[in-house]
Amino acid sequence: MKRIFYLLPFLLLFAACNQQPQISSPNGQVTLTFRVNKSGVPQYSVSKNNTTLILWSSLGLACAEQDLTSGFEITDTESQFFSDKWETVWGEERVIVDRHYEMRVALQHQSGVRMDVLFRVFDDGIAFRYIFPEQEMRSLTITDEISEYRFAADHAAWSIPWRTEYYEGLWTKAPLSEQTDTLCSPVTLELADGGYAFVHEAALYDYPAQNLYMKDGALRIYLTPWLDSTKQALDAKAYETLPFATPWRMVILADDLRQMVASRIMLNLNEPCAIEDPSWIKPMKFIGIWWGMHMKSMTWEQGPIHGATTANMERYLRFAKEHGIQAVLAEGWNLGWETWEHFSFTEPYDDWNMDYLSQLADSLGVQIIGHNETGGNAADYEDQLEAAYAYHQAHGIHAIKTGYVSPIIRTVDGLQWNKGQSGVRHYRKIIETAAKYHIAIDNHEPVMPTGLQRTWPNLMTQEGVRGQEWNAWSNDGGSPCSHVTILPFTRVMAGPVDYTPGVFAFENPVMPQTRVHATLMNQLGLFVCIYSPLQMACDLPENYMKHPDAFHFIEDVPCNWERSMLVDGVIGEYCIFARQERGSENWYIGGVNADEAREVTIPLSMLTEGKTYVATIYRDGEEADWQTNPYDYEIEEQTVTAADVLQLRMASGGGLAIAVKPAAL
């Protein structure tokens, strides 16, 4: 690790004289300027390559104790340069570079309250947060956050509404000026003069999640409110004890999509790993007793077609062992599914033998992934937490999928939004308690990710997306083909996604008008395009055995990477990603396509020059089409080098997958 700090005396002198302190990115292209206007309102602006991207935008907090939105003066500034390289426990890259300039502006309010604004400027964006140092005032009740992004042009925004249950919506595109609803964070912008921006937050620990809305030409923050006993929103958004710092507000500024998806600003804004020895945290692929419930061939609750039985789980475990799959998930193994009033996380149904199955899994070298559905009763889950995690640990279970199927969850503070401050506190307690028991978390119905996996890498993946299950039962017929070509540039930018790819059977006897809008090759491409270190192959074992040659890619593809890159893509049309297996010279390429069939070009320049590789190419057949012929595919091998360029066709709703490995000597 290398950390370098340089104080900038000339910058400080400039700031003192002009009261407009300024810092630029290490490459000098992005510049942030700060000021306090005549009314004492803190404001900032951002330019890139001498073009203003964010006009003077206001900062501040409205509090019950004091209005901290105006009446400030600058009392001090301090700036420094920071350079670091750090290694991920798991991720899309093994090594991440953090280089930025930082500026801390100390402000004093006319009431005497002290508030600092900390800015960081990277080559690919900016971030800021509010810091309240220890002082006479001991607490604050925040009623609003007056942080805004006053973009200089009317950019096109990809977004979902903020009250979309569990974030499980279809992302749509519209100009900022036409956004009449409050939007969920993040928002991805296609800039009017080219380039992209990604607006989100980082390091959300004890604060409500941000949402975004347009007012008077600016994109502003709306904090998720506390609720009263009748589920009505209160004025209070956050209760804080001083000293404290808010989450980071961040904007990625990218020249193109490749630069945007490569940005690691969000991770760099989080604290280093808090787990002393994280070696027990292992990325892995898994299958599970899950898709059958959505296709109505199994049930979660005990009965004639109960899914999570000892016999069925043994079948899945042995299948996983035979095909090199590291783990098996079982949903519906525990008491409580009949009523959804109280789940027990230590008491199995009587047709589930946990002792036998845990011993069998251990003997096979396959892990069991536990499932803890709460029905939205987070307080009940907390009451059982220590006992539940001790029980799982005693049975060799080191990963748990949690669930909160309720848009308003019951926390220790009563009924609250899951992304309000109380819900955020609950999720943090889950992560930190799980770490004590060496348990990794796959969080469903989560708060939107903000990079906490850097600090707590046992938070491995989350849902928070309209995932594969919608293709089993949604009344709108299933997600359109374009959906998976939008997600890598929107939701996936916020963090790993448990999308559950890998459907191999496209018929739906229960809801014939609903299905996966994809070819089989599209489902393979998702394993590369949508990142998750816990990656589920969701379909039934018997469906995989109908196409064992295609299933070989799922057996083979890893879910932990040395480095990753976007090869090509257009939001809503198609995307192609390439990733290098961690600790290996193997590369994997995946592509997914929307409705219009297309020819794509894939340069192999990421390969090592002078070496010969064998590429196993899984691609749509000539007659492939998601509606009429999703099973038409071809698999071929080709000798390639870094100088080669592949020309491939992706069908309507189609895709591709390629495994590239060094040729045997």
Average pLDDT, the chain: 96
pLDDT of residue 353: 98
Q: Find the helix or strand (DSSP H, E) in which 363 lies.
A: helix 354-364
Q: Find the helix or strand (DSSP H, E) in which 550 lies.
A: helix 548-556
Model confidence at 493: pLDDT above 70: yes
The three-state secondary structure class of 435 is: helix
- Give CA–CA dist 360/396, Å, rounded: 11
- Give CA–CA dist 590/572, Å, rounded: 16
**Model pTM above 0.95:** yes
Confidence at 8, pLDDT banded by 50, 70, 90: very low
Helical axes 354-364 vs 310-322, angle rounded to 10°: 10
Check: CB of residue 74 under 8 Å from CB of residue 36: yes
Check: CB of residue 641 under 8 Å from CB of residue 628: no
User: Burial, 318: exposed, middle or buried (Cβ in 10 Å; 0-12, 13-18, 19+)?
Assistant: middle
For residue 429, what are the CA distances in angstroms to 75, 373, 386, 394? 37, 16, 11, 21
Model confidence at 14: pLDDT above 60: no
Helix, strand, coil shares of the chain, percent, nearest 5, are: 20, 40, 45
Model confidence at 198: pLDDT above 70: yes
Confidence at 556, pLDDT banded by 50, 70, 90: very high
- The DSSP secondary-structure symbol of 627 reads T
- Give CA–CA dist 580/558, Å, rounded: 9
pLDDT of residue 407: 86
Model confidence at 525: pLDDT above 80: yes
The three-state secondary structure class of 382 is: helix
CA-wise closest residue to 200 among 492, 477, 445:
492
- Domains defined for the chain, CATH in brackets: 4-268 (2.70.98.10), 282-556 (3.20.20.70)
Q: Is the dihedral of CA 14, 126, 46, 29 positive or negative?
A: positive
pLDDT of residue 83: 98
pLDDT of residue 19: 82
pLDDT of residue 18: 52
pLDDT of residue 9: 40
pLDDT of residue 459: 98
Helical axes 378-394 vs 421-436, angle rounded to 10°: 10
Average the pLDDT over 40-51 and give the result.
98
> pLDDT tens-digit profile of 446-467?
999 999 999 999 999 999 999 9
Check: CB of residue 23 under 8 Å from CB of residue 29: no
Residues 6+ apart with CB under 8 A from 9: none
Active-site annotation, residues: 469
Confidence at 665, pLDDT banded by 50, 70, 90: confident
